[in-house]
């Protein structure tokens, strides 16, 4: 009888299951389910209720439908029997929250609330709560809150801005919400019948820590009189590190999915964070770059160290026992996609079609022979603001254009800019004596060989690439095997689990010494511009102000 784990990976548009061999990590089957209601950003489903600007909602039923679709699908595809599945892990976008009744029923499924947008899931990228985030940042500064040492700045994407937005806009939903929780925690609750909270989500998105808990009653009272007891009233539940066992599959869920009742389910984790064990990294001082539309830079340390540009440092936040750091760049793949969509001329498109390659490949072909610096171009990778500085008002820049500048040169300069941004994060860690001893990458962008080589050349570091295409889902499966434990055919030690189930490709990207030398100089130029436009000349902010009228 085999031993298998399932990783459930809930993304922005769809959810995925992968079924893997617990002994080897081999991916036996995978299935994807696209959310029927996707991202809800204009009107509520089957309704003409219009949403506020920058709203991004979801329907929690789509998560249940995902579970019902993808788990039976991977069992069917693999021929694996229910009793061979020893554990399930869940990773989820975050901070994606919903208000529910005490039994977990989402308020949006309660008849009298279904037309209220605040009863629905607020997706991570719901930015309508920016005013609330501003207010919270102001208050933490005024009160000089100690927990803020662990965070660079509270984002509108996080939990309390979203809760405060509910309260400000719709006190009746706030009052009716007997629970407010991360959708990842909610789906684990639905699978197991037990409400627990993830230390990862709570730590990175709700200013919680194992030693200090959530912010104080005084803080919440100062924020809004009605929020004084928000923790006791709506949040309190055991907070456990990812990989702990949340509970077993319920009878009802066993029926819906074809799994055995009691199958272990791990405490959920955030998708990017799951990519760390999914890339085989479970120890400190190894940075994992989770590279997609944006890039998350995940690192662990043995002590609580505060590093510039890090969004949050959370004990047990990635792997139990270590401090997990999350830094990042707000747009990476998104910048290249913007360029492909908006800036590549028609004859390049024809050429790509003729050669049977996509535009990314064509541009890489045309620019990969260039020496670093040959184009004379330099860019700042701030198309979606600068997360290192937590400043959404910064914007993109390219300089060095001449009348003979070609599109592939600009494309390459944009890639280089994102590599400089990553290098800045690596140097910020090094400055605080948190050395990046090894560098790993996972995610969609790792397919772009030119890009990966540029990252190696810019950072001067060898880059190891995760073996799996689905590092987050594999990380979730590893946590599932950990939740099952050795006695159930899984693992008690995440180091053993990760070394068996995850790995990196044998080919790595090694820096070229001469290219690195040139890139050191160019990086110096990047730093100068970085400082100038963030600290000295605030023209980007003023221009954004004008553009809003």
Cβ contact 64:250 at 8 Å: no
Burial grade of 390 (CB within 10 A; 0-12, 13-18, 19 or more):
middle
The answer to whether 527 contacts a second copy (rule: CB under 8 A) is no
Is residue 49 within the footprint of a second copy (CB under 8 A)? no
Task: Please state, as a whole number, how many other Cβ atoms lie within 10 Å of the Cβ of residue 89.
Answer: 35
**How do beta strands 179-182 and 323-329 pair?**
unpaired
For a second copy, the closer CB: 390 or 525:
525
Closer residue to a second copy (CB): 148 or 398: 398
Residue 539 interacts with a second copy (CB under 8 A): yes or no: yes
What is the C-alpha to C-alpha distance for residues 213 and 264, in angstroms, rounded to an integer? 27
- Under the binding rule (CB under 8 A), the answer on residue 403 touching a second copy is yes
Return the structure tokens found at 457.
Answer: 């050349």
Q: Does 368 bind a second copy (CB under 8 A)?
A: no
> Does the protein bind a second copy through residue 102 (CB under 8 A)?
no
Q: What secondary structure, in 3-state letters, does 430-487 show? A: HHCCCCCCEEEEECHHHHCHHHHHHHHHHHCCCEEEECCCCHHHHHHHHHHHHHHCHH
Single out the residue of 50, 112, 146, 349 in contact with a second copy (rule: CB under 8 A): 349
238: three-class secondary structure by DSSP: coil
Task: Name the minimum Å distance from CB 444 to a second copy.
Answer: 17
Q: How far is CA 51 from the centre of its chain?
A: 25
CA distances from 449 to 111, 364, 407, 443, 445 (A): 52, 9, 19, 13, 9
- The span of 219-227, 252-260, 279-287, 395-403 binding a second copy (CB under 8 A) equals 395-403
- Rule CB under 8 A: is residue 406 a binding residue for a second copy? yes
| 216, 390, 398, 485: which one binds a second copy (CB under 8 A) | 398
Stretch that binds a second copy, among 134-142, 144-152, 221-229, 535-543 (CB under 8 A): 535-543
**Only segment of 9-17, 232-240, 361-369, 370-378 that touches a second copy (CB under 8 A):** 370-378
Q: In this structure, are strands 378-380 and 438-442 parallel, antiparallel, or unpaired?
A: unpaired
Closest CA to 477 of 182, 225, 280, 191: 280
- Taking CB under 8 A as the rule, does residue 36 contact a second copy? no
Helix (H, G, I), strand (E, B) or coil at 44: coil
When asked if residue 296 is in the footprint of a second copy (CB under 8 A), the reply is: no
Q: How many CB atoms lie within 10 A of CB 430?
A: 12
- Nearest residue (CB) to a second copy, 59 versus 416: 416
- Interacting residues of 113 by C-beta distance below 8 A, sequence separation 6+: 107, 119, 173, 176
CB-wise, 172 or 525, nearer to a second copy? Answer: 525
Does residue 334 interact with a second copy by CB under 8 A?
yes
Answer for which of 53, 102, 149, 371 binds a second copy (CB under 8 A) is 371
Scanning 33-41, 143-151, 284-292, 389-397 for contacts with a second copy by CB under 8 A, the matching segment is 389-397
Q: Please identify, among the stretches 66-74, 116-124, 151-159, 539-547, the one whose residues bind a second copy according to the rule CB under 8 A.
A: 539-547
Interface with a second copy by CB under 8 A: which residues?
331, 334-335, 338, 341-346, 349-350, 371, 373-378, 380, 383-384, 395-403, 405-407, 518, 521-522, 525, 528-529, 532-533, 537, 539-540, 542-544, 546-547, 549
């Amino acid at each position: 009888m085999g031993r298998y784990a399932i990783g459930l990976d809930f993304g922005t548009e769809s959810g995925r299951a992968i079924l893997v061999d617990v002994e080897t990590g081999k991916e036996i089957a995978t299935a994807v389910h696209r959310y029927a209601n996707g991202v809800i950003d204009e009107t509520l489903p089957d309704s003409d209720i219009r949403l506020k600007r920058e709203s991004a909602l979801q329907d929690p039923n789509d998560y249940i439908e995902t579970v019902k679709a993808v788990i039976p699908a991977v069992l069917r595809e693999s021929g694996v029997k229910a009793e061979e599945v020893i554990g399930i892990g869940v990773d989820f976008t975050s901070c994606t929250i919903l208000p529910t009744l005490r039994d977990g029923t989402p308020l949006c499924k309660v008849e009298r609330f279904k037309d209220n947008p605040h009863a629905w899931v607020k997706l991570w990228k719901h930015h309508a709560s920016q005013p609330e985030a501003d207010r919270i940042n102001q208050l933490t500064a005024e009160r000089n809150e100690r927990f803020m040492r662990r965070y660079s700045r509270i984002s509108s994407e996080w939990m309390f801005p979203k809760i405060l937005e509910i309260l400000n806009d719709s006190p009746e939903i706030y009052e009716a919400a007997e629970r407010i929780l991360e959708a990842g925690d909610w789906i684990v609750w639905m699978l197991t019948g037990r409400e627990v909270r993830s230390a990862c989500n709570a730590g990175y998105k709700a200013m919680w820590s194992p030693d200090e808990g959530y912010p104080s009653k005084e803080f919440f009272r100062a924020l809004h009189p009605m929020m004084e007891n928000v923790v006791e009233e709506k949040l309190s539940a055991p907070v456990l590190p990812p990989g702990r066992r949340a509970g077993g599959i319920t009878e009802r869920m066993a029926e819906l999915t074809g799994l055995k009742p009691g199958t272990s389910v791990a405490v959920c984790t955030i998708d990017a964070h799951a990519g760390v064990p999914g890339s085989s990294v479970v120890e400190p001082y190894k940075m994992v770059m989770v590279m997609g539309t944006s890039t998350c830079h995940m690192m662990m340390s043995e002590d609580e160290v505060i590093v510039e540009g890090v969004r949050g440092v959370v004990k047990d936040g990635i792997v139990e026992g270590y401090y997990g750091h999350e830094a990042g760049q707000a747009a990476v793949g998104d910048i290249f996609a913007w360029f492909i969509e908006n800036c590549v001329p028609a004859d390049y498109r024809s050429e790509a079609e003729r050669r049977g390659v996509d535009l990314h490949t064509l541009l890489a072909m045309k620019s990969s022979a260039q020496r670093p610096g040959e184009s004379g171009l330099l860019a700042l990778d701030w198309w979606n603001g600068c997360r290192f500085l937590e400043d959404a008002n910064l914007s993109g820049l390219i300089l060095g254009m001449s009348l003979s500048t070609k599109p592939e040169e600009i494309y390459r300069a944009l890639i280089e800019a994102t590599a400089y941004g990553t290098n800045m994060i690596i140097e910020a860690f090094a400055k605080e004596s948190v050395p990046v001893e090894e560098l790993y990458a996972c995610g969609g962008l790792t397919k772009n060989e030119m890009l990966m080589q540029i990252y190696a050349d810019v950072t001067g570091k060898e880059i190891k690439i995760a073996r799996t295409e689905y590092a987050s889902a594999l990380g979730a499966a590893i946590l599932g095997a950990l939740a099952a434990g050795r006695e159930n055919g899984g693992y008690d030690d995440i180091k053993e689990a990760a070394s068996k189930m995850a790995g990196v490709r044998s080919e790595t990207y090694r820096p070229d010494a001469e290219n690195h030398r040139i890139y050191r100089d160019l990086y110096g130029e990047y730093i100068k511009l970085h400082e100038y436009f963030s600290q000295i000349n605030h023209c980007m902010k003023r221009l954004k102000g004008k553009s809003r009228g």
